[in-house]
Amino acid sequence: MNLAEKLVKLRKGLDYFQKSADSYNYKYVPGVDILVKARPIMDELGLLLKTEVISFAFDLSEPKKQTVCCDMMMTWIDAESGEKMDTRFAAFGQQDDLSKAFGSALTYSERYFLMKFFNIPTDKDDPDRFRKQHGLETDEEKANALASKDQVDKMFSVGKQCGFTGAEMRNACVKVLNKDDSKTLTVGDCDTLEKYFDDNIKAGQETKPYSQRHRAGIQSLLTLAGLDEKEELAKRTQDGSSHWNRLMTPAGETWLKELQEIKRSQDEAEPRQVEDEIPMITPGQTNILAMWDISREESEEMLQKYFGTSELRDLTENQANQLIEYKDTGIAPS
């Protein structure tokens, strides 16, 4: 790294300082706070900061307010390459003694030079609150932050969708994270548990019955294909029974895809009738679609995607039938 690159890296480590010290009627950033944080990074990068007084003037007209003004040169030096960078600066101090005033000027100039050179924000807020408000948190800090109620609810929702019961999800918290209280979960914990639920549902599909809420799609397609439900079900269960709870997830997913393919083939084989007047959506079809448990925004987005309109009343009877079929079977309109 050259000198400029090292200074950029140093600046990244000096992202914020709290005004924690009091002086008369204002708060300020203690110089020690900046140096304690900057020195280890400077040592690591091999950076030196040389302060030089080019010229100075003083005023002793008021004994208790002796003032000194200094013209300063602040020089960054790369100990590895010898590269230098000079910056002019000024220093001012006022005390009841000239030597104290000179010391104050040098101390303040070093502190404010670092803050202004690196554009370091300062505020009365504590660092953690400031970093969170202004999006300065690192990925690690975000992951270690306590999860909100919405984030915890989302994690449990994922577990439920993956087939885990409430007790199983609580046991997973203890097993995976060694935590038994959801209020102590961090954002990273929730991400870890979501991945655990997802990985285990995939790994355990062979022993999980096919979801009951997905059976309706298979049943509708069986009716359309003219197939006997019990006979077809017995072909796909592990023990040859006609009970749905014996149909495992992989077999159910394969069966659904087969039936969808049969329906597509039937649709392609049917001749399309051309009529002078195209019948529009009927009141009965409208009522069926109105019972679909989706939001208005989702409905409008779907209508626009498949039919180029956002209103049900603009659909033809055939389009409405396609949409009802999509609702029941999951086959998207063609």
Dump pLDDT digits (tens) for 264-282: 888 777 665 544 567 788 8
Residue type, 115: M
CB-based contacts of 124, cutoff 8 Å, min separation 6 = 18, 19, 27
Is the model's pLDDT at 128 over the cut of 50? no
Is the model's pLDDT at 318 over the cut of 70? yes
| Predicted pLDDT of residue 26 | 42
Name which of 69-73, 116-120, 204-208, 319-323 the model is least confident about: 204-208
Cα dihedral 106, 110, 116, 120 in deg (nearest 10): -140
| pLDDT band (50, 70, 90) for residue 255 | confident
Is the model's pLDDT at 176 over the cut of 50? yes
Is the model's pLDDT at 25 over the cut of 90? no
| pLDDT band (50, 70, 90) for residue 28 | very low
Give the tens place of pLDDT for each residue, 65-76. 899 999 999 999
φ, ψ for residue 12, nearest 5 deg:
-60, -25
| pLDDT band (50, 70, 90) for residue 243 | confident
| Predicted pLDDT of residue 89 | 92
Is the model's pLDDT at 40 over the cut of 90? no
Name which of 16-25, 30-39, 94-103 the model is least confident about: 16-25
What is the percent of the chain where pLDDT is above 90? 14
φ, ψ for residue 78, nearest 5 deg:
-90, 110
Looking at every residue in the chain, the average pLDDT score rounds to 77
**What is the C-alpha separation between 197 and 68, in angstroms, rounded?**
68
Strands (E), the chain: 17-18, 21-23, 26-28, 47-59, 66-78, 84-95, 122-123
Domains of the chain: 3-133 (3.30.390), 144-201 (no CATH), 204-270 (no CATH), 276-334 (no CATH)
